[in-house]
Structure 1
């Protein structure tokens, strides 16, 4: 069943909107149960809200790259476990990295279930004020330390409805009374409980390794990506990080501020090959997965 990714600045009101969605979806399920002839497909639905707090993740996890990576991995695993035929999963987190949203989009598509992104459009100054109030309130989970808040705002990658992994995209302005719940339900569950079936394409289906040239393609494609990184670093000496567009790839590479040595890149490449040598993937999927892997480990 559907995956709903909330995305927005820290302290933008995501949890408030997520709870509104939970109440709405649960209300539709309960209303169906009270009908003389309930729709069995809707009757089976369960609603899950997954957030940092429920997983025991601290705001301090976003202070360092290593702990942030672990936090994102914990969220990713929890969302992946909850996704199922009869489950509506609401991911109440910043989901601020487009590569991360792309990975979750692929997980949903592989399960033949729809997904959407709900962008919480709250101005930065309002988020900053909310965050300071939360920092001073001992009765709630609290806000982010100022330095972490500003860093997360700086790195936030806003959803783009023109990309398939961020669509359909629903934007909720900060003073809207509620999200467009009816539209979200219709897009994901269906006006009559009959949402369009999502068919997995080749890029989201893993198959046992069988092609004789698969390892060659895996080796060649990943080396091409490294070559692009090395060429960019050579052509942009002294620059602190940067975004690299890779031919035939949907996502760019987001380089960290510190230059990457060839030995470090090759080590990450070998790790990726080891993880994926048992599966046969289309060439384009190898490239995108490798870029996702690099971006996640660069963070």
Structure 2
């Protein structure tokens, strides 16, 4: 008998535009509803499923034509996922989820509530997606304008199961009749489901410490300044661990040394994730170093 799910479950659907993501989501919905309805476990029978995509959230495909509306749409999508992640709930997040940093952000959200999560990648190739997109436009049933379609394909960052935030990863080729529903069920709800332990940087706590936001901003800036100073003193060096003043851990630079804009982007992500929390001020530095090392391992 499957193990009783102790926490919500998050399934991220990923794929090129017009790849068939919603069709695959509905196949998962059908299978999961059947599993819940036929389970002898009363706790499993109480499971609810939330299917979220642009259509259910009232988002137009036109949002992808400009950077600001697209960013706002991702924020709406992310907020809807977080609201839906409550006990006894399976969330199927049916979007392109094409940005690696966005998938990492949702991975952190899942860790914060200790929920199993996975990626289902709809692996339809671009040429087939292009054909399906053109047919949908001609029929007036959907599709993206050609320029928007090509831009989204160009910017797509394919999931990699070697990354923690993209694992477990289930790929669904175009020719497959249906997704590996049984394997996904087992990974999320059944005997293979893992209760994810939250990273210290994602544990939700009320913001109570005085001057917390100031310390969050100052400490993360200090870490970036230390990295920048080291890079200036060691031009061309990479793939090494560098000591950060007052930090217990070292920053492990990747083989290609990160640029200042890349570091600033990671800092903004960390601050955004932890702005509403209250990390111990004495731990911010080490937790930010951990966050950078996680990101560099991708």
The answer to whether TM tops 0.5 is: yes
1:115 to 117, 133, 136: 117
Deviation at 1:253, TM superposition (A): 11
TM-score, with length taken from structure 1 = 0.75
1:17 to 21, 24, 28: 24
Query: Structure 2: which 5+ runs fail to align?
Result: 1-7, 232-241, 243-250, 294-298
CA distance in 2, matches of 1:18, 1:73: 21
Counterpart secondary structure, 1:53: coil
Counterpart secondary structure, 1:55: coil
CA distance in 1, matches of 2:290, 2:25: 30
1:102 to 89, 101, 104: 104
CA 1:277–1:131 in structure 2 vs 1: closer, same or farther (change >3 Å)?
closer
TM-score, with length taken from structure 2 = 0.75
Aligned twin of 1:197: 195
CA 1:13–1:230 in structure 2 vs 1: closer, same or farther (change >3 Å)?
farther
Q: Deviations over 1:170-191 (max 9, x none)?
A: 0001110010000000011014
CA 1:150–1:212 in structure 2 vs 1: closer, same or farther (change >3 Å)?
closer
Deviation at 1:211, TM superposition (A): 9.3
Q: CA RMSD in A?
A: 3.8
Aligned twin of 2:86: 84
Counterpart secondary structure, 1:170: strand
Query: Structure 1: which 5+ runs fail to align?
Result: 33-37, 233-245, 292-299
Aligned twin of 1:237: none
Deviation at 1:228, TM superposition (A): 6.3
Deviation at 1:75, TM superposition (A): 0.4
TM alignment of 1:158-169, pairs within 5 A: 158-169=158-169
Residue-pair matches, total: 263
